[in-house]
Amino acid sequence: MKLRTKIRLFSSILILSMLILVNTFVYFLFYKNATDSQLVELSLQTDNLIEQLASATAAEETSEVINAFLPANGMVKVFSSDEQALEFKLKGEAYRTLEGAFQTAESQEIIRPERGVHVAVVTKPIIWHDGSVVTLQMSDHLVALTDTLRILFYVLIIVSLIILIPTIIGSNILNRLLLNPIEELTRTMKTNIKERKWKKIDHSNRSKDELYEMEVTFNEMIDQLRDNYERQEDFVSNASHELKTPIQIVKSYAQLLERRGKDNPELLEESIAAIDSEADRMKRLVEQLLSLAKNKENVVHEPIELVQLVDHSITTFKQAYNREIEFHKNIEKLNVLGNAGQLEQIIYILIENALKYSEDKIAVSLFTYNGDVIYSVKDYGSGISPEDQERIFERFYRVDKARSRETGGSGLGLSIAKEIAESHHGKLTVESAAGEGSMFTLVLPAMKKADRENEK
């Protein structure tokens, strides 16, 4: 069953149930008030008859008095103690079947004989003209009330039907208000799936309700999916391009060796060196791709002594590259909350980039400022243009593509460093000017004293 049918059916059944309950209450409330008033009126009329009968001394007089007080649509019966009807007065033969009996207690009731007409009956014991105790029964057939109740019943049914019509119309309007945006959303999603589009929903001129928020959220999701899809395509395309070149070089040298390498030691040595170099470059590229995926995983953060980590990294680079690296710091011990392997990776990336793009010395600084940890690496190379600075953290982007190939760069290092910084709630920025070198700065939140005490 569709949601549109469910809403229409549920609203109709709900309104119909409420109408039945309300109409039933109204009907029986009217019935109770009307019958109570009829019984009170008949009881007063019976009391007046009893009062007049008290002064009667003969059967003829009692008969005249009873005839005078006989209801228009009723009758009067008098029963003796031996269950005999002493007087029997009625208007209309249709009411003769009403039963009665001698009783000493007063009673008032509404009954419905076989013909279905409501009858008000008042029964009271009295002293008869001969001094005996008899039962006086006065009844009034409520023909007008029965007709009124029948008319009321029909009126309530008609009113209920009339109320149901705008209810159905209102449920249809509600269906359009609620379901049209949902149906449009469904159509848009099917179109996007079938035609591979990034179609969004037009939510202009709409009230800012929950459906509006749903449409806005859907459009934001579409934008994010499209952006991620395009980045994924770029990533796959760039990764394929980066791997294609070294693979082609390796294949070319292998074919060259197959043709002429067996008898040419110099060509053999050159080919082996080239193949080894390209294999190393492919290995580094694959490792960096795996690093990108690994950095997206949830890793455990713990207190890290950053001064010691930076100092150890600088010592390693000095021994490996035999280059001058200055280290400036304003504190001897500094703790941050993070992952040691990832933080060491970002330190390596920034130092290695500085060494690749600068023939001169580089300067590494580590200090605290306003509750933040500042780690910066400055080189004195050719610098980075403003246009390149905007894209330098994109995957596979290289400022000098020719030089990067010579140095084995893949354009993934700074992208990895940026993702590591963001995963540590930090920020990685660059400042550079042509001919003056570049400075990369990593800002991390310092570990608070309370946090250090809790770790202990």
User: pLDDT tens, 327-340?
Assistant: 998 888 888 988 88
10 Å CB burial of residue 147 (0-12, 13-18, 19+) is exposed
Rounded to the nearest 10 degrees, how much is the dihedral formed by the CA atoms of 154, 159, 164, 166? 150
pLDDT at 26: 92
Distance CA 354, CA 380 (A): 8
Pair 342, 280 in one domain? no
pLDDT at 400: 58
Do residues 447 and 336 make contact, with C-beta atoms less than 8 angstroms apart?
Answer: yes
Q: Read off the pLDDT band of 277 (50, 70, 90).
A: confident
**260 in any annotated domain:** yes
pLDDT at 89: 66
Pair 274, 379 in one domain? no
Pair 265, 314 in one domain? no
pLDDT at 29: 93
Pair 430, 353 in one domain? yes
pLDDT at 454: 44
**161 in any annotated domain:** no
Q: Residue 430: helix, strand or coil by DSSP?
A: strand
| pLDDT beyond 90 at 428 | yes
- Residue 127 pairs with which residues in a beta bridge? 133
| pLDDT beyond 80 at 97 | no
Pair 27, 130 in one domain? yes
Q: Backbone dihedral region of 223: left (phi > 0), alpha (psi from -120 to 50 degrees) or beta? A: alpha
Pair 323, 426 in one domain? yes
Average the pLDDT over each of 93-97, 112-116, 215-219, 222-226 and give the range with the smallest value.
Answer: 93-97
Pair 11, 84 in one domain? yes
Q: Which of 122, 123, 112 is nearest to 146 (CA)?
A: 112
Distance CA 404, CA 408 (A): 6
Q: Residue 405: helix, strand or coil by DSSP?
A: helix
CA 107, distance to chain mean position in Å, is 64
pLDDT at 275: 81
Pair 272, 311 in one domain? no
pLDDT at 406: 47
Mean pLDDT, range 140-147, rounded to an integer = 84
**346 in any annotated domain:** yes
| CB hemisphere CA count around 103 (13 angstroms) | 12
**185 in any annotated domain:** no
Average the pLDDT over each of 243-247, 268-272, 365-369 and give the range with the smallest value.
Answer: 243-247
Domain with 98 in it: what CATH number? 3.30.450.20
Pair 253, 126 in one domain? no
Pair 450, 306 in one domain? yes
pLDDT at 382: 85
CA 300, distance to chain mean position in Å, is 31
pLDDT at 270: 79
Mean pLDDT, range 130-138, rounded to an integer = 83
More confident site: 401 or 161: 161
267, 294, 321 — which closes off a domain? 294
- How do beta strands 85-90 and 427-433 pair? unpaired
**184 in any annotated domain:** no
pLDDT at 450: 35
pLDDT at 242: 60
10 Å CB burial of residue 243 (0-12, 13-18, 19+) is middle
More confident site: 147 or 233: 147
| Token code pair at residue 112 | 């419905």
Domain with 328 in it: what CATH number? 3.30.565.10
131, 149, 167 — which closes off a domain? 149
pLDDT at 420: 84
Highest mean pLDDT among 69-78, 283-292, 300-309: 300-309
| pLDDT beyond 90 at 366 | yes
Domain with 265 in it: what CATH number? 1.10.287.130
Neighbouring C-beta atoms of residue 305, cutoff 10 Å:
13
Pair 100, 118 in one domain? yes
Q: Read off the pLDDT band of 113 (50, 70, 90).
A: low
Determine the structural domain holding residue 439 and report its residue range: 300-455
**383 in any annotated domain:** yes
Pair 243, 363 in one domain? no
**32 in any annotated domain:** yes
Amino acid at 196: R
Q: Which of 289, 285, 278, 274 is nearest to 247 (CA)?
A: 278
294, 319, 334 — which closes off a domain? 294
Instruction: Summarize pLDDT for 168-215 with one digit per residue, the tens.
Output: 787 778 777 777 777 787 888 888 888 777 888 777 777 777 777 888
Mean pLDDT, range 44-69, rounded to an integer = 80
pLDDT at 116: 67
**265 in any annotated domain:** yes
Q: How many domains does the chain have?
A: 3
| pLDDT beyond 80 at 94 | no
Q: Read off the pLDDT band of 405 (50, 70, 90).
A: very low
- The mean pLDDT of the chain is 79
Average the pLDDT over each of 42-51, 157-166, 258-267 and give the range with the smallest value.
Answer: 258-267
pTM: 0.45
